[in-house]
């Protein structure tokens, strides 16, 4: 009796274990697909079938038209009869032997003149044709020789400009062209053409307050970045140097490049605002950093109405 009870108990426990295992959620692995539902695939297949059916219908329609024409008038379609083969000599007489442009350029001769071009000697029964070098090749070859002689004389004996001299000349010309272009373009500024302009200070203050306050303070007194209101500068204090610093930045010292965030005019405006901060002595100013900048005569030409605050 005990064995029977034990057996029944084991069976009940086994059924519970298998039942709990069956209740576990089996992860469903999605089958590979092309991202279309069954309905969309059926629609595409139906469209392809319709296109094929339309093509077959057109072909059959054209075939029936031909059959109807043949039945109406059998003389329209005659059996092909191959023309009588001509003798080679007759074929040469009918052929147009007038040389074309391609034949003239390559200095080719007609095949009927081949017998006159055979060189007398033969190797193992193989004869060689006397084909001259094309005229265009000779023109290019001798022209290259003449050019080489003139080139060597000009650059090696007549003191012609070398590559490094030509590069320097081109750079000077490019610099002059750039200067003239910037002089004509009213809103084109760079580190070479920037000048102090009082009309740019107002907009420059707005640009400064929007982008530079976190590092240099509202009045340029310096926070993380250096003080912009004193006479000491880390990377030059001229208007050209300041423009270059703002434009290209100093990544090694945490100064970001603003070339991609601000236009050239915005940089010129903020640089003019920074120039207007010189000598304002704001409160809580950061200690001087760098070297004292002494303005040159070209840097002291400023508008008398330039604001100082």
Higher-pLDDT residue of 28 and 158 is: 158
- Taking a C-beta distance cutoff of 8 angstroms, is the pair 194, 239 a contact? yes
Pairing of strands 126-129, 291-292: unpaired
Task: Give the phi and the psi of residue 162 in degrees, each rounded to 5.
Answer: -80, 175
pTM: 0.39
At 9, list the tokens. Answer: 């108990």
What is the CATH architecture of 198-292? Orthogonal Bundle (1.10)
Whether the predicted pLDDT of 305 surpasses 90: no
Higher-pLDDT residue of 203 and 79 is: 203
Per domain, the residue ranges of the chain are: 98-129, 198-292
Mean pLDDT over 202-216 rounds to 90
Q: What is the pLDDT of residues 210-223, one digit of tens each?
A: 999 888 888 888 88
The pLDDT of residue 291: 85
Task: Give the phi and the psi of residue 212 in degrees, each rounded to 5.
Answer: -115, -10
Mean pLDDT over 185-205 rounds to 80
The pLDDT of residue 97: 61
The pLDDT of residue 35: 62
Task: Give the phi and the psi of residue 27 in degrees, each rounded to 5.
Answer: -60, 135
Q: Burial level of 33, CB count in 10 A (0-12/13-18/19+)?
A: exposed
Helix (H, G, I), strand (E, B) or coil at 233: strand
Q: What is the pLDDT of residues 123-171, one digit of tens each?
A: 888 888 887 788 888 899 999 999 999 999 988 888 888 888 889 999 9
50 conformational bin, left if phi > 0, alpha if psi -120 to 50, beta if neither: alpha
CA 218, CA 84: separation in Å to the nearest integer?
103
Cα end-to-end span (Å), the chain: 107
| pLDDT range class, residue 206, cuts 50, 70, 90 | very high
| pLDDT range class, residue 7, cuts 50, 70, 90 | low
Task: Give the phi and the psi of residue 245 in degrees, each rounded to 5.
Answer: -65, -40
């Amino acid at each position: 009796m005990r064995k029977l009870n034990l057996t029944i108990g084991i069976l009940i426990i086994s059924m519970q274990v298998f039942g709990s295992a069956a209740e576990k959620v089996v992860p469903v692995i999605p089958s590979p697909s092309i991202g279309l539902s069954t309905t969309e695939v059926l629609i595409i297949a139906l469209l392809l079938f319709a296109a094929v059916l339309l093509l077959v219908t057109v072909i059959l329609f054209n075939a029936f038209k031909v059959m109807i024409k043949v039945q109406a008038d059998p003389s329209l379609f005659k059996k092909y009869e191959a023309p009588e083969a001509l003798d080679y000599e007759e074929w040469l007489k009918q052929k147009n032997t007038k040389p074309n442009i391609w034949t003239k350029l390559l200095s080719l001769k007609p095949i009927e003149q081949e017998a006159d071009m055979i060189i007398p000697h033969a190797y193992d029964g193989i004869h060689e044709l006397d084909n001259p070098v094309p005229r265009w090749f000779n023109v290019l070859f001798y022209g290259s020789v003449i050019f080489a002689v003139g080139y060597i004389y000009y650059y090696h004996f007549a003191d012609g400009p070398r590559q490094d001299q030509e590069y320097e000349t081109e750079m000077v010309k490019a610099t002059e062209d750039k200067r003239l272009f910037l002089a004509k373009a009213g809103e084109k500024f760079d580190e070479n053409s920037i000048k102090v302009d009082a009309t740019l200070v107002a907009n420059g203050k707005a640009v400064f307050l929007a982008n530079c306050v976190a590092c240099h303070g509202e009045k340029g007194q310096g926070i993380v970045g250096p003080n912009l209101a004193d006479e000491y500068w880390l990377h030059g204090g001229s208007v050209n140097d300041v423009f270059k610093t703002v434009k290209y930045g100093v990544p090694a010292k945490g100064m970001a490049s603003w070339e991609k965030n601000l236009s050239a005019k915005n940089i010129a405006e903020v640089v003019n605002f920074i120039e207007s901060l010189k000598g304002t002595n704001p409160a809580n100013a950061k200690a001087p950093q760098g070297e004292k900048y002494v303005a040159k005569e070209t840097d002291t030409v400023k508008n008398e109405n330039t604001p100082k605050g």
